[in-house]
Structure 1
Amino acid sequence: MSKKFQIQTSPFIVPTTDGKLIEEHFGKATDGNSQISIAHMIAPPGWSEPFQTPEFDEYTYIIKGKKQFIIEGEIVVLTAGQSIKIEKNTRIQYSNPFDQECEYIAICLPAFTIEAVHRED
């Protein structure tokens, strides 16, 4: 009989060049799941990504620090204990312009893929 659960002890570490730690626990890169991805992230002070318009809903829960979102031109800052849902096909930029690292969980429905994120140059 197969187990009805899966414990993740070795998440996929996504290679980055910007100092950000991305540990995908479940998702396309880790277990081939295209329905959902769940990642633990730590963004260093001063980190930012290009604007993007993803084809997935993204939920973010802040564990520690602060994270800035520019959502359709509106600046939103979340702090530890807060969460947000950003609907698919919304133009957004994620950043940590603050002086301490930001630790958070990101959940994407359907799963994150580089092809579906549509980052701008």
Structure 2
Amino acid sequence: MKNYKVQRAPFVVPTDDGKLIEEHFGLASIKADLSLAHMIAPPGWSEPFQTPDFDEFTYVIKGKKKFVIENDEVILEAGQSIKISKGARVQYSNPFKEPCEYIAVCSPPFQLDLANREDE
């Protein structure tokens, strides 16, 4: 048995909001103690507020991404990153004219029922 796993075919999470989610490691792909996903959020995309039961790390590759965390607004640009601690109320969006490409890491791995999304 090898001490590594190569991901050549990430799981593409089905969405209905135009966002691309390719999970490389997590619960839907190669099982791991965290989840790692490559994402592209189209212009105008947003999610409802949520209070996740996991830490989330985001690294922006291209474009910009907006975060509303508690009462603060944070906008990340390419090359910038953020850690949002579990239990923080957060909303993610891309209100900009260009797609936002980014990497997200969640620990423990992302599960929709742990996101605790609010009704829109």
Query: 2:53 aligns to what SS in structure 1?
Result: coil
> Aligned equivalents of 1:100 and 1:73: distance in 2?
25
- Tell me the equivalent position of 1:21: 20
User: 8 Å contact 2:7–2:30 — kept in the other structure?
Assistant: no
- Tell me the equivalent position of 1:70: 68
> Aligned equivalents of 1:31 and 1:105: distance in 2?
16
Query: 1:9 aligns to what SS in structure 2?
Result: coil
Runs of 5+ unmatched residues, structure 1: none
TM-score by length of 2: 0.97
> Aligned equivalents of 2:106 and 2:74: distance in 1?
19
Q: Which amino acid in the other structure matches residue 11 of structure 1?
A: P
TM-score by length of 1: 0.96
Identity, % of aligned pairs? 64
- Tell me the equivalent position of 2:89: 91
Q: Which amino acid in the other structure matches residue 89 of structure 1?
A: G
**Alpha-carbon offset, residue 71 of structure 1:** 0.2
Large movers: runs of 4+ above 6 Å: none
> Aligned equivalents of 1:83 and 1:32: distance in 2?
24
> Aligned equivalents of 2:28 and 2:6: distance in 1?
16
Runs of 5+ unmatched residues, structure 2: none
**Alpha-carbon offset, residue 32 of structure 1:** 3.1
- Tell me the equivalent position of 1:111: 109
- CA RMSD, Structure 1 to Structure 2 (Å): 0.6
